[in-house]
């Protein structure tokens, strides 16, 4: 997340942008990372930077789950996930530990 904010700041510098109005991030679905936590963290990290106040759009990459009852494997972007076959609780067996920027909208200094 820290790295994402640094990347946004670097591309702002490159584009000579004054402010960031919107950022779209892609994250791997994981039980440790809720949308609320990501938003809160982003807010804290961007405080007193030109990114502060930017609208944040989040997209989730699915994680792989395995059902504890029927062993069915499936992908889901919700966490915790329930088995689509039997409705039982499924265990996360792998997730993509990723967080990258899909798009940034900026206002240039000339405007």
Positions touching Zn ion (CB under 5 A) are 67, 69-70, 72, 83, 85-86, 88
User: In the bound complex, what is the minimum distance in angstroms from residue 79's beta carbon to Zn ion?
Assistant: 16
Q: Which is nearer to Zn ion, 57 or 69 (CB)?
A: 69
Structure tokens at 96: 């993509």
The Cα 14–Cα 16 span in angstroms is 5
Query: Residue 76: which H helix or E strand, with range?
Result: strand 73-76
User: In the bound complex, what is the minimum distance in angstroms from residue 78's beta carbon to Zn ion?
Assistant: 15
User: In the bound complex, what is the minimum distance in angstroms from residue 72's beta carbon to Zn ion?
Assistant: 5
The dihedral of CA 80, 25, 55, 57: what is its sign? negative
How does DSSP assign 34-62, residue by residue? -HHHHHHHHHHHTTTSTTTT-EEEEEEEP
Q: Which is nearer to Zn ion, 44 or 89 (CB)?
A: 89
User: In the bound complex, what is the minimum distance in angstroms from residue 31's beta carbon to Zn ion?
Assistant: 18
Q: Which is nearer to Zn ion, 10 or 89 (CB)?
A: 89
Q: Which is nearer to Zn ion, 67 or 106 (CB)?
A: 67
């Amino acid at each position: 997340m820290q790295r994402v904010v640094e990347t946004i700041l670097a591309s702002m510098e490159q584009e000579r942008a004054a402010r960031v109005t919107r950022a779209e991030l892609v994250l791997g679905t994981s039980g440790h990372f809720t949308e609320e936590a990501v938003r809160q963290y982003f807010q804290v990290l961007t405080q007193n930077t030109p990114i502060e106040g930017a609208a944040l759009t989040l997209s989730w990459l699915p994680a792989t789950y395995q059902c504890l009852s029927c062993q069915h494997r499936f992908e889901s972007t919700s966490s915790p996930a329930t088995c689509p076959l039997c409705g039982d609780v499924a265990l996360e067996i792998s997730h993509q530990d990723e967080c990258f920027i899909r798009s940034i909208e900026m206002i240039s200094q000339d405007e």
